[in-house]
A and B are shown apart, each in its own frame.
Chain A
């Protein structure tokens, strides 16, 4: 039932004072948003940025317009917050920290060799993602984590659809090259 209600309706309901609506929204988007930040800023800064972004959403609930897609609005806020973080740090995101120690979902039925192979592949992919240029990484994450379309990626990043499309294409090409025959 909760999945049938759109993000926009939930946000409008929350701006009207319904705290439960926000909880549904939060549970839907907390994971993708967390990883979106994690892949770009590293583990040390992710928790703080994550909380800041959601607090901004809470404080700006009265400014939310029905015409704007909630996901676009959420990731636009997140992107701005990440840019502010970069400016304060005066460095680009640290790529080595984005590689997680274990990314393999537990599956008792998987053979140990295959599990190890899968883990290696995942690590390789995450390492390859960490090595992407910032704009391409951002486009990839908006596509794979947030599930945004090309047009929504363009709106979120302040570019046009062609630019968003080419960034995503370059990102995929590089990842394929990095993974090689293992993909």
Chain B
């Protein structure tokens, strides 16, 4: 068998005479010399595959940039949601609470609320809380404003920035009164000697925020003043 295969190979070897033309030889050799003479470009590890590597790098970079942006937007969106409820600053309401308690308490709308949830009060009731005959200009001015009247220029200029902001916010029928603010108001009433008013406010606070942990110092203060 191998002998027969060898015969076939021998016969075939005799047929191997065909080859490329001279012009083909010249063309190929010329191309090889030209390529050899060309400056050699450094073939890096990613040569030929750089588009894929560049695409992967671009995706990574874009992801790294976008994730913080998305997080910031999400946080900003969350922060903007309670902003509508916190129209009045604590300091503004504290200033409002400086006025003495009224002798006559008007009916006010108190809504039972869960612990620490701000109670909506009618603006007039909140302003009437602690009102005396000696109203501070700010109160009357703000009351005028709430009734649609313009604040006189002199008075307006005397109004601190926070109070003017408060005036704008008071155009709404209700203002937000948190239990903490309530405590501050009660404390001031005690300091001003308005013990009865302070006691009434304390009772209202307990009714509206039964789960709220009232400051023990405040309770002691009130008890000291209530005792003969």
Contacts and interface: CB of A to CB of B under 8 A. Distances in A.
B16 A35 contact: yes
Contact of B24 (A18, A47, A125): A47
Given A122-B11, A125-B12, A144-B12, A55 B17 contact: no
Interface of B: 4-5, 7-9, 11-21, 24-25, 27-29, 31-33, 35-37, 40, 43
A47 B20 contact: yes
A50 interface: yes
A22 B31 CA distance: 11
A104 interface: yes
Contact of A176 (B4, B24, B40): B4
B32 A103 contact: no
Interface in A87-115: 100, 103-105
A179 B5 CA distance: 12
A51 B16 CA distance: 19
Q: How large is the interface on A (under 10, 10 to 19, 20 to 34, 35 or more residues)?
A: 35 or more
Contact of A31 (B9, B16, B27): B16
Contact of A100 (B4, B5, B18, B31): B18
Given A51-B27, A103-B14, A122-B11, A22 B36 contact: yes
Given A58-B31, A62-B43, A183 B19 contact: no
Contacts of B7: 183
B29 A23 contact: yes
Given A50-B24, A179-B8, A122 B19 contact: no
A34 B18 contact: yes
A175 B179 CA distance: 106
A55 B31 CA distance: 7
Given A22-B32, A58-B31, A122-B11, A105 B20 contact: no
A18 B21 CA distance: 24
B4 A145 contact: no
B32 A58 contact: yes
A26 B18 contact: no
B32 A30 contact: no
